[in-house]
Amino acid sequence: MKKKFNIIGKRKFFFIFSTILMIICIGSLLINGLNYGIDFKGGTIIQIEMHQTFKTDEIREITDTFDESADITYAGEEQTQLMINTQESLNEEQIESLFSKFQEKYDLKGKDLLSSEKVSATIGDEFKTQSILASVIAVLLILVYITFRFEFLFGFSAVLALAHDLIAVLGAYSIFGVEVNSPFIAAMLTILGFSVNDTIVIFDRIRENRRKYKKSQLFELTNDSVNQTMGRSINTTLCVLLAIISLYLMGVQSIQDFILPLIIGFISGSYSTIFIASSFWYVAQEKRQAAKA
């Protein structure tokens, strides 16, 4: 016989752990906020292949004539690429004249201007509002669907686990100051879909097992269901992580922007599915049964 873990019995431990985690995440979000990137804040990013390592002081000599508060960072495998990030949007003429100064000084070709991006601040604001709207609508629709297919308490527990995962990702981004851009939003909505997917498998099992257990066996029902579906939850998460971590390690910036939140979200999702969602359902269901009795 397979070994059975007493997960529901140790629920207090996991509740406390998650509560502390949530407090830290929300605290950091309130204090530090998020480090919004160009997609939200507006500004200009210019990426140039320099074919050599360079000192930021030399770069500043040129960039200061355009924007003294510009951020200068390194990029590329051998750190030979230059990223210039300004808060104020530079116009096309400015971008052109900035690059031509680099061309002169470092003897660069036209194609060495790897990319340039310019976003106005108003677009960023709209994008933020739209992203929040999208998340709220998605959560509500999922809640309605689970209520329709299962019952409200399952839906509520799944959404709670989901909130746990989203806050964990936001918190990690806030604590480590990772830049938030539009791929992040796509990632959050993906987590939103898959976190619930994960939870539903357990709830589906509880729904099925209910026929086999007595009402008084609520604890056994929940704990057995979690144990029966745990292998699947871990293996699926493992497969997804194997696939996306390999991609992450290849070091393509815009892919990393998308995958990093997914990695955090999937780990949190697997954890919250096994240790939080059904434990919470169990506690609430027990209260409900006690009230009825």
Would you count residue 259 as binding another protein (CB under 8 A)? yes
Binding segment for another protein (CB under 8 A), chosen from 66-74, 172-180, 249-257, 284-292, is 249-257
Residues 19-48 that bind another protein (CB under 8 A): 47
CA distance 102 to 59: 9
Binding-site size for another protein (CB under 8 A) equals 74
CA distance 167 to 173: 10
Residues 76-95 that bind another protein (CB under 8 A): 92-93, 95
Q: Which residue has the tokens 């933020």?
A: 128
**Would you say 28 or 224 has its CB closer to another protein?**
224
Q: Are 25 and 170 in contact (CB under 8 A)?
A: yes
Q: Are 52 and 106 in contact (CB under 8 A)?
A: yes
CA distance 171 to 33: 9
Would you count residue 109 as binding another protein (CB under 8 A)? no
Would you count residue 248 as binding another protein (CB under 8 A)? yes
CA distance 270 to 255: 22
Closest CA to 138 of 202, 201, 194: 194
**DSSP result, 49-86:** E-SS---HHHHHHHHTTT-TT-EEEEESTTS-EEEEEE
Tell me how far, at minimum, the Cβ of 92 lies from another protein, in Å: 4
**Would you say 23 or 243 has its CB closer to another protein?**
243
In this chain, which of 252, 287, 288, 289 binds another protein, going by CB under 8 A?
252
The pair of three-digit structure tokens given for residue 26, joined into one six-digit string: 């929300």
**Would you say 71 or 117 has its CB closer to another protein?**
117
In this chain, which of 82, 119, 172, 226 binds another protein, going by CB under 8 A?
119
Q: Which amino acid makes up residue 6?
A: N
In this chain, which of 197, 217, 220, 283 binds another protein, going by CB under 8 A?
197
**Would you say 186 or 267 has its CB closer to another protein?**
186
Tell how strand 35-36 and strand 179-180 pair up.
parallel
In this chain, which of 8, 83, 113, 169 binds another protein, going by CB under 8 A?
113
**Would you say 41 or 60 has its CB closer to another protein?**
41
In this chain, which of 72, 201, 283, 284 binds another protein, going by CB under 8 A?
201
User: What are the residue ranges of helices labelled H in the chain?
Assistant: 11-31, 38-41, 56-63, 92-106, 121-149, 152-176, 182-209, 218-249, 253-271, 278-292
Would you count residue 151 as binding another protein (CB under 8 A)? no
Which of 22-47 are b and which e, b meaning 16 or more Cβ less than 10 Å from the residue's Cβ? eeebeebbeeeebebbbbbbbbbbbb
3-state secondary structure of 45: strand
Q: Which residue has the tokens 């922007």?
A: 257
Residues 203-242 that bind another protein (CB under 8 A): 204-205, 208, 228-229, 231-232, 235-236, 238-242
Residues 167-196 that bind another protein (CB under 8 A): 182-183, 185-186, 189-190, 192-194, 196
**Would you say 32 or 228 has its CB closer to another protein?**
228
Helix axes 218-249, 253-271, angle to 10 degrees: 170
Binding segment for another protein (CB under 8 A), chosen from 18-26, 163-171, 197-205, 277-285, is 197-205
**Would you say 9 or 231 has its CB closer to another protein?**
231
In this chain, which of 15, 36, 54, 145 binds another protein, going by CB under 8 A?
145
